[in-house]
Structure 1
C-alpha cells in the first residue's frame, strides 16, 4: 500500500532539535524503499504517489513511509471489478439484446401484415357449402346417333314452341299456322316413301306449316324419328330416287279453314332434307298462289336453309345435344333437295 500524508505540512517537517523524540539516530541511514519481500513487486510508477514541489525553503528531510506488509497487495491505477459482476453484466446484455431482436421481428411482421391488408382492401368472402351445387355442373353432350342414347320423344312444343319463329336478328319472323305430332310416320308421306320410313323404324313425326315473312310462300317442315343414324341415312339416300320415279311424295300439313294453308297439299313443291343423328329433317315449299316453283328461285333455297339448317338442326337438335348426357358428337349433316309434283 502507498502511504498518504495527513497534510502538506507533514511533507516539509524540519530537522528536529537534538535530544528530541524525533531526532534521527546516529549511524548510517536505513536503506530507502520497501523492505525485501519474497514476492518482488514490479518497479512501476505508483499513480497515486505525490510529487514534492520545489521550494526555496531550507531542505527538509521527508519522512520515509514504512514498507507495506508482506500480506498486502499493490493496487493498480484502475480498480478491478469482481468476476461475478462482469459475468452478470454480460448475461443482462444478452437478454436485453435478444428481447430487442424479438420486438424488432414482431414489428416487421405487423408491418408486412399491414401491407398485405392495404394491397387487398376487399378480400373475397369464403364460399359456403351449397347442397345443390352439383345441379349447376355443366351438362354432358348428348349422343343423337341412336334412340338408345336419345330416348326422350319429340314434342310439338319442343320443335315449334311459339306462334312466331324468328331465326335471324333484324329479320321478320315466320308465322306458325298449325302444328302436328304423330306416332305414325306414314301420315306425312305417301306410297313408297311412307313404306320406307315405316320399314326402317320411324316411330314419330313432328311437323308444322308456316307462312314466310313476305307471305309469298308456305312451308311444311318437321323431323322424322328413326331408329339410329344408319337407318336415317338409308332413308336419305333413297328419297331422291323415289321422288324422281314418282313413287311417293311428302304430304303438306293443312291447317284450319280460311288460313290459306290448303295449297301445301296440292301445289307443286320443292323438297329439301338432311340427316343429323337418328333424325331426318325435311321441308317442302310451295308458292302461296299455287303456281309451280321455278328451279332457279333463290327465295326457295333461302326458305329451305332457314327451316332445315337454322331451325331444325342448329336450334332444336342442338339443344338436345347440349342438354343430354352422352359425349359422342354427331357427324356433320348432309342435305339434298328435289322437286315434288302436286296431286
Structure 2
C-alpha cells in the first residue's frame, strides 16, 4: 500500500534525535542531483526478466497407521494438516458403550427368565386344577349354556297398508259363533258375517262415496244380538290406505250423519232382524292404525233408540273399544294377546250419532 505525504517534513516528523540508538536507522543517503522526485512515486513493478516459480505445495499428509495398543498416541503433525479420525474410540467412550450393552444384555436375560417363570407357574396351576378334577368323582361337567329366552314378538306397524298389507279375514275378526268381551260376561251371539272388497255394501249416500274416494278396499262385518236379546247390532272394520286417511273419514262422518246425507247399512240375518235395515240406529266409530272400527245399534222391536240410553253406550263400548280395537287390531299389531279394556270409553276415542 502507498502512503501519501504532504511534504518531506511531514514524512520525518517522527525521526529520532541525533546520538540516539535509533538515529542510525533514520540516516538517509545524500540527496541526488537532478530533478526532484515526484511527490506521487510510481509503484515498483516486478521485473519481467525474472522467472516466477510456482509456490511450493505442502507435502501430502502422512498415511495413517494405527499405533500399537501399548504405544503412546502420536503427537499431532506440525505441518498444520489434520489427520484422519482414527477408527477406534477413546477408552472412556468404549467403556461407556460397553456398560450400556452389558446393561441391556442383563435386562434381556432377566426379562426372559421372568417370562419363563410365569409360564411355569401357569402350567403348574393348570396341571393341579386338572388333577383335582380328575381325582374328584363328584365333579360334574359344566352345564350347557342356557338358550336365550325368546324375544317378545316385534310390533307390526299398522298405520299404513304398505307396512300391513295382509287383508282382514272373517276368522280373524269374528272367529266364533259368539263374542265375549269380558270374563264372566254374557256373550254376544254372532248371527251372520260378511267380508267384501267393496265398502259401499256397508254404507249408503255420501258415506259410501267418502269411503270409496279415500281408498277403502275392504270391509269385514257381522250382525250380532245383545246378551239380553233387546238389541241388534252390526259391527266391523273398514280397511283404508293409512292412518291419516282413516282419521279424515272419522272427522267427516259426524257431519254426514247429522245432515242425513248418508248412513251405515245393517246386515240382515233373518226374518226377525228387519230392524237392522229399517229402524233408527245409534252409531259409534274409532280409528286404530289404518282401520276404522264401527258399530250400529237398533232396538230389536224397531222402536227409536234414546241417545242417553246407557245400554246403547255399553254395547258400543263392548264392540268398538273392547272387541275390535283392543282385541282384533291389538292382536294384529303385536301378534300376542289383546290388552285389557279400559273401565270407561274415552270421549276422544268413541263417538256415536243417530243413523236414520
Name the TM tier (shorter chain). Answer: 0.5 to 0.7
Shift of 1:127: 5.8
Name the structure 1 match of 2:177: 163
Which residue in 2 is equivalent to 1:297? Answer: 309
**Is 1:339–2:354 an aligned residue pair?**
yes
Residue aligned with 2:236, SS: strand
Q: 1:137 to 1:285 in 2, by over 3 A?
A: same
For residue 209 of structure 1, what is the aligned residue in structure 2? 223
- Partner SS state of residue 194, structure 1: helix
Match of 1:151 in 2: 165
Distance in 1 of aligned mates of 2:196 and 2:354:
25
Q: Within 5 A, what are the aligned runs for 1:174-253?
A: 174-253=188-267
Distance 1:125 1:315 in 2: 42
For the residue of structure 2 that corresponds to 1:334, the secondary structure is: coil
Q: 1:281 aligns with which of 278, 293, 299?
A: 293
The 2-side partners of 1:156 and 1:126 are apart by: 46
> Which residue in 2 is equivalent to 1:126?
144
Q: CA deviation at 1:116?
A: 7.7
Q: Write the distance in 1 (CA, Å) between the matches of 2:280 and 2:268.
A: 15
* C-alpha contact (below 8 Å) 1:275/1:335 kept by paired residues: no
Q: Which runs of 5+ in 2 are unaligned?
A: 1-124, 337-345
Is the contact made by 1:209 and 1:261 (CA closer than 8 Å) also made in structure 2?
A: no
The match for 1:268 among 272, 277, 280 is 280
Aligned counterpart, 2:33: none
Structure 1 residues 252 and 137, CA gap change in structure 2 (3 angstroms): same
- How big is the shift at 1:114? 8.1
Match of 1:27 in 2: none
Greater relative contact order (Cα < 8 A, sep 6+): 1
Per the normalisation by structure 2, the TM-score is 0.57
Q: Distance in 2 between matches of 1:148 and 1:229?
A: 11
The aligned runs of 1:32-43 (5 Å cut-off) are none
TM-score (norm. length: structure 1): 0.59
Gaps of 5+ in 1: 1-101, 118-122, 325-331
Structure 1 CA distance for aligned equivalents of residues 355 and 144 of structure 2: 66
Matched, 1:309 2:324: no
